[in-house]
Structures are given as structure tokens and as C-alpha cells.
Structure 1
Amino acid sequence: MTGTTLDDYTDRYAARVRGMTASEIRALFAVASRPEVVSLAGGAPYIAALPLDAVGEMLGRLGAEHGTTTLQYGIGQGTLELRERICEVMALSGIDVGSGASPEDVVVTVGGQQALDLVARLFLDPGDVVLAEGPTYVGALGTFQAAQADVVHVPMDADGLIPAALEAAIADVTASGRRPKFLYTIPTFQNPAGVTLTDERRDQVLDICERAGLLVVEDDPYGQLSFDGEAPKPLRARRREGVFYLSTFSKTFAPGLRVGWILAPHAVRDKLVIASEAQILCPSAYAQAAVATYLSTMPWRQQLKIYREVYRERRDAMLTGLADLMPAGTHWTKPGGGLFVWMTLPEGLDSKAMVPRAIAARVAYVPGTGFYADGSGTEFVRLNFSFPAPERIREGIRRLAGVMEQETAMRKVFGPMAGRPRTGRGQAGADVPGPDLA
């Protein structure tokens, strides 16, 4: 019997599958995980900063002493105990009872990614428009793409999303005969740009969305990882109606447990639960118990301070390395928290075309094209500083600077097409201007 090929299946795919493409970050994981490669690519937290012995003992007790419940099915919304603990976590950021933070309106999800997918399932039909910062989180782009929605990017600058540009985008979409369904935003320590929306602009953005009847989906994985004082209050702390607040324990505890949540307007909570049950039946009872027990029995607030100190040191190592080693014409953001720096390459360099040379030089990064729906962003690079040690960060910067200098030298000898891929979406939309984030 002969084996089947891809062609035997492609004409049977659902329409929504045809637009799906692999994440540029995931595609790098295989090479970035090699020990000889300095990976500045992924967004992995530094799990070794946790008290792993104590966490291991806690996890063992959950199975040994509470296995009849933690290893059993649960409810679709998530356990009440965890939802109560989540409200305590959100209160640290200013999302409290006055902001409508009730355990009844929290839906536990399998990481922040499922939270995004649930919102997309509830609100997006094929051809709908989502407004999102340009650049934006690659996982969100994949989710919206799978929902067959069109993403319209709204420019940012060093102070985050530009309110006037948001108004213009809403007007342009409306003039085309369509209505944007929601604004997707990461206002605090944005991924990938690292910038933070100012207090003044937060109120302006909320006012614009309210006037336009536009829902707001606020993604906040990094808000509690501030290095330079407290982060601005989330959008959800300022406006309770029409704002969906998404977050996760992946960046502040353990991504391997895959526990996140949505704080939703009360009117749609039940629909979110029904959609989640259709997907996964229920989130892992064991993972939920692990997070709830961690929050109830361990000094998690102190652990947040440890993470902030570790990441501040690594951010500083990256910024110092960039200042010392990068060639003229390179610019980068200076994040006040989170995990990422967004770098603008010298004129003429192509971040996607440089990837093979960078891997050969044993350094990995994510090209900017992964963060734009139209494949633009060739002049940008996302750099992660949370996982490598400070000395490895500097070594990675040194290697990357060498690759950039080689690429520049190649262009001088062979012209502007030197090192560029002959085909591929990395060139699509390359003339689209990027945000001024330098």
C-alpha cells in the first residue's frame, strides 16, 4: 500500500486551515535550544529562580494527599479556590472589587493562549477586522489568522499605542464598509516592542474605543514584572465595561503548568465557559491546584521581587551590550519591565535574511516579520533577555553585531540583494513603514 502525501489531504482541509502558518519563534526553537547557541529568541522565564525543592515537594503532596481530586475532572470555569487567588493577584495591579474583579467573572484557561482563542471564538467571523498594535504578539496573530480575521496594525512610538493613529484606523476600517470587532493590546511592557502605554494615553485609548463601540482585549502577561517603579494601572482597572483582561502564570510562576485566565464582562462569562468546555472540557485540576497552593502557601510576592531583580540585571546587561557593541545606525527600545528589547537594524539590513548567518554564528533572535500580519518588519529584531545569564547575553550581542557587520560588508561588495532570500514572505510588505520606537 502506497503512503499518502500532503496533496491527498489539502483539498479536504477546512477553509480556516489554509491560512495557518508556522510561528517564526517556534521554527527557531530546534536550533535555539542547542547548547552552543546563545538564544536571544524565545520568551522563556528563568525558572531556576524559583525555590524548586519547595515547589517539587508541594507538587508531590498534591498527588499523594489530594490525588482523588487533583487527578480528577473539574469544572469548565475553573476551581473557585484558584479564581479567588487570581483576584488577589489582580488586586496587586489595581484590578479589585471596584473594577469588577469577582471570582464569578474569572474563567481559568490553558495558558494565555487559550484565553486569546476563546475571545476570538466568541467575537470573530471570517473577514472580521481586529485592530492591534504594530508590531504585536505572534501568538495573537496566529489565533486571529485561524479565525480568518484581518488584522489592521495601529502604529506605536516610545509611549505605546498612538491614540490619533487608533482613531484614524477605526475611521479607515469603517469607511471601507467594515466595523472592527475589538482592539487587541498589550499596553504594559509590550511584546515584542517592550514599550509601555502612558497613563494619559490609556485614558485616551479607552475613550476612543468607548465612543466607537469597540471592545478592548487587554493582554497583560508582564505587568507585574516592572523594574523601575510600579507599572501604570491596567486598562481593566480604569474601565470595567467592554474590557476583557487576559493574563497568565507562565511569566510569574511556571509556564509548564499552562494556567491563565480571563476576567470578562459579566454578560459574556457564561459564553466563555461554554466555548472553553467545547474545546477542553475543563482545565487541568492538578495544574490549578498547583497554582492555588503556590499562591496560598508560598511567598509568591517575594518571588515576584526576585524575578524583577533577576530580569532587571539581565535587561541592563543587554542594554549595556547593545550600547558597547552594536554598529552605528542601530537603535533599540529601553523597556521598564517585561522580557524583550525591540531593535531597529541599520538601513538596508534584513532581519529575516540574516537568520541563517546568525545561526551559523551561534546566536538566535526573532526577525521582526513574525510580529506583523502582512509580513513586514524586516528591519526589526526582537531580543529576549530573561533566560540567558548576563555574560551569555553580552556574548550573544557580540556575535549578532558581528553578523550585522558581515551583512553590511556583503552589501557593499555585492549590492543590496546580497544575503536576501530569493523567495518567501519575508519580503512581502518590506516597504511598509515601521513604528518609531528607537
Structure 2
Amino acid sequence: MSHTTLDDYQDRYAARIHGMAASEIRALFAVASRPEVVSLAGGNPYTAALPMDELGDMFTRLLAEDGARALLYCPGQGDAALREQICGVMADVGIDASAGASPDDVVVTVGAQQGLDLLARVFLDPGDIVLAEGPTYVGALGVFQAAQARVRHVAMDDEGLIPRALEQAIAECPAPPKFLYTVPTYQNPTGVTLSGERRVEVLEICERHGLLVVEDDPYGMLSFDGHRPRPLRAMRSEGVFYVGTFSKIFAAGLRVGWVLAPPAVRDKLVLASEAAVLCPSALTQAAATRYLTTMAWREQVKAFSALYCERRDAMLSAMDDYLPSAMTWTRPGGGLFVWADLPEGLDSKAMLPKALAKRVAYVPGTGFYADGTGRGQMRLNFSFPTAERIREGVRRLAGVIESAGELRDTFAP
């Protein structure tokens, strides 16, 4: 019997497959999850902080009282009760009825990732241009690459996306870009937040050029000082598609997210969702609805924020103590990540095997750029490890960086 190899199928693949590449984060999971490795790589919420006994009771009641319905199919747009509750969640960050938020315009998705995929299916043809911050969320890059779109990055600084760089990027595009993809609040991977003044400027630029905006907001509620920046969607309803998720404020394993879109686009998103998954899970939607209606979810978000703030402080303190003075890094006001610039000449991707050998993991900066740049940068996560593990991980990382710097100096001309 002959054995088929992957190469035997190369001439049968769809063209879109050739633009797809493995996520640098997913590739790390098998190694980084080993107990001896301090993983500063992932973006996992600390679900152990959830009230597990109460959640167990909630799921038991759900199945006893509503299990028959929750185990059936549900409408492709998502359960009406959950869409109503999602509007309540968005109202907490300023996206209310006055901003055009309505349960009728919410499409429930399998996590925010499916929301991005549906928007790509609706708007992107092969060769289309998407503007995105540089660096940007690796999962969004995967979606755009699968859609055979071209991503052009817009420069950022400590106040987020730079408006004049956006203007320049639009002017230099050989064809009008389809949309701007942005994570304006506690951005992944940098932790940077777009300033209020720049939010106004960015929206004005997009409106002037007829550029749609896809706003991805997984972290907006995880503020460390109690101040939640207003989403772009709260500032302008026309042409801004808001993508939300329960992954960071409840549980990532639930896989429940949503897109807020105007009626015409909503209908297209529902059609695309039905073609892909028929409908999102009725059971996880019912669980999310119960969580929002019967449990103190706002207090839980505050608890997550306080915990992550402590861990952020532990990471920044360790970085100040251990990392070389030639390095710089962001100091996020919320979210899950710190973005670090290595000393000149060091390569975060080349360093990774040495870091794993020293039992510490991070994500190289290359994963967050469509063009493979970012070798001098890395993303560090502080949400999942304890403060003690974070400090130990940074100490190990400092040793790896010091060794790489000595090796560089040895071979310098």
C-alpha cells in the first residue's frame, strides 16, 4: 500500500492556502506549557480566579432548567437574550443606544476570531489592502492572509497609531484600502492605548477618506486605573464595526464573541456565519447569558483587573531590575501584554531556542508583522503566571539576552 505525503496534494490546494502560515504563538504552546518553563508567551486569562463552585452550580442549573433548548441549534445571528445582554456589556464602555447599539445589529460569533473572519469574508477580495497597526494582533494577520489580502502597517508610538502615518499610508496605497483594523485599547501586542485626541483624529481621517474601521476590543474593560477609554464605536457609529469577546472578561474556552454592525452588513455576516458553522453554540451562549444575568460579572472584571495590575507591576519591576539599560518597553495601563525592544543587533526569533533551553518563553516580534519584521522586539504576557513566576521568568530571560549580547559582541567587526 502506498503512503500519501503532504507534498502529493500541493497542486490541489486552493490558492488561499499558500498564504496561510502557522502562528508563532501556537507553535510555542507545546513547549511553553511544560511545567518547568516559565511562559511569558501566551495571552491566557487567569481563569483560576473565577468562582468555580458558583460556576459549577450555574451550569448545573442551566442544564436542569434549560438544557433541552440549550442543546439544540440556535439562530445563525445568535440567541436574542444573549444579544440583549451584550448590548448591556457594550453600554458599560459607552456603546449604548445613542451610539446605535441594538440587539438587532449584534451577530454572535465563535469568539472574536470568527468575527474577524466573517468581516474578512464579507469585505475582502484577493489582493485587497488592509491597513493595520504595526505591530498588530497575530490572529488578525492570519485571517487577512487567508483572505489573500495585503496588510500595510501603520506606525505606532506610545500614544498608539500615529494619525499622520495613517494619512501617509492611505495616500501611498495603490488602491483604496478596504478598512483599517485596529486594537486601540491596551493593544495586543504592545499594551499601548490610542490617546483620546488621536481617536478623534483617526476617525476624522477615516471619514474623510471613506475608510471603514474594524475595532477589535478584547481588553477595553481590563483597566488598571478604573478609567476605560471610550471605544471608537462609541464616538462614531457610521462605518465602525465593533468586535467584542467574553474571552478576557469571562472565559476564553467559552468561545463567545460578537460583532456590532449596521443592518445590511449584519445580514451578510449572518449568511457568512451560517455557511461556516451553521450557528454558534447554543450551550455556550446560554452559559454566557446566565453568567451575565445571575452572577456578579462586573465585580469579576474588577477582580481580574486588580490581579493583572499586580502582575503587570511585578513584570515591570523585574524588568527594571534585571534587563539591560539598552532595552526599552511599554508600561500598559490595562490588558495583558508588555512589548519590549531588544538592544541593537539582537534577534528575538534567533534567541528563542536558547530561551526555551533556559526554561523561559516569549513571543518574537516577527509574529506581529505581515512582512516578517520585528526581530528586535518581543511580546511578554503577565496575566497567567504568578508574580513570583513572572520575576523568575524575567530573570531567566535577562540571562539569555546577556548571553546573546556577549555573542554578538564577540563576532562584531
Compute the TM-score of the two structures, normalised by the length of structure 2.
Answer: 0.99
Establish whether residue 270 from structure 1 lines up as the match of residue 267 from structure 2: yes
Q: Distance in 2 between matches of 1:282 and 1:274?
A: 10
Shift in Å, 1:235: 0.3
Q: Distance in 1 between matches of 2:99 and 2:75?
A: 25
Deviations 1:309-361 (A, max 9, x none): 00000000000000011012010000000000000001111000000000000
SS at match of 2:178: strand
61-70 or 7-16: bigger deviation: 61-70
- Corresponding position of 1:82: 82
- Corresponding position of 1:320: 317
Q: Distance in 2 between matches of 1:291 and 1:126?
A: 36
Instruction: Indicate conservation of the 8 Å contact 1:115/1:261, yes or no.
Output: yes
SS at match of 1:397: helix
Q: Distance in 1 between matches of 2:218 and 2:372?
A: 24
Q: Distance in 2 between matches of 1:363 and 1:167?
A: 40
1:225-304 superposed matches below 5 A = 225-304=222-301
Provide the identity percentage. Answer: 70
Q: Distance in 2 between matches of 1:102 and 1:165?
A: 34
Instruction: Indicate conservation of the 8 Å contact 1:160/1:196, yes or no.
Output: yes
Shift in Å, 1:8: 1.0
Q: Distance in 2 between matches of 1:294 and 1:67?
A: 15
Candidates 195, 199, 202, aligned match of 2:196: 199
Q: Distance in 2 between matches of 1:343 and 1:402?
A: 16
Q: Distance in 2 between matches of 1:131 and 1:412?
A: 38
State the one-letter code of the partner of 1:21: A
Candidates 351, 356, 369, aligned match of 1:354: 351
Q: Distance in 2 between matches of 1:243 and 1:163?
A: 17
Q: Distance in 2 between matches of 1:166 and 1:305?
A: 34
1:47-62 superposed matches below 5 A = 47-62=47-62
Q: Distance in 1 between matches of 2:190 and 2:330?
A: 7
Establish whether residue 342 from structure 1 lines up as the match of residue 335 from structure 2: no
Deviations 1:48-69 (A, max 9, x none): 1100111112112222332210
Candidates 390, 395, 412, aligned match of 2:409: 412
Shift in Å, 1:267: 2.4
Deviations 1:167-198 (A, max 9, x none): 0000000xx2x110000000000000100001
SS at match of 1:261: strand
Deviations 1:372-431 (A, max 9, x none): 000000000000000000010000000000000000111122348xxxxxxxxxxxxxxx
1:127-142 superposed matches below 5 A = 127-142=127-142
SS at match of 1:183: strand
- Corresponding position of 1:427: none
- Corresponding position of 1:102: 102
How big is the alpha-carbon RMSD for the aligned residues of Structure 1 and Structure 2?
A: 0.8
State the one-letter code of the partner of 1:147: A
- Corresponding position of 2:46: 46
- Corresponding position of 1:150: 150
Deviations 1:206-246 (A, max 9, x none): 00000100000000000000002312200000000100000
Q: Distance in 1 between matches of 2:245 and 2:321?
A: 35
Shift in Å, 1:266: 2.3
Compute the TM-score of the two structures, normalised by the length of structure 1.
Answer: 0.93
- Corresponding position of 1:396: 393
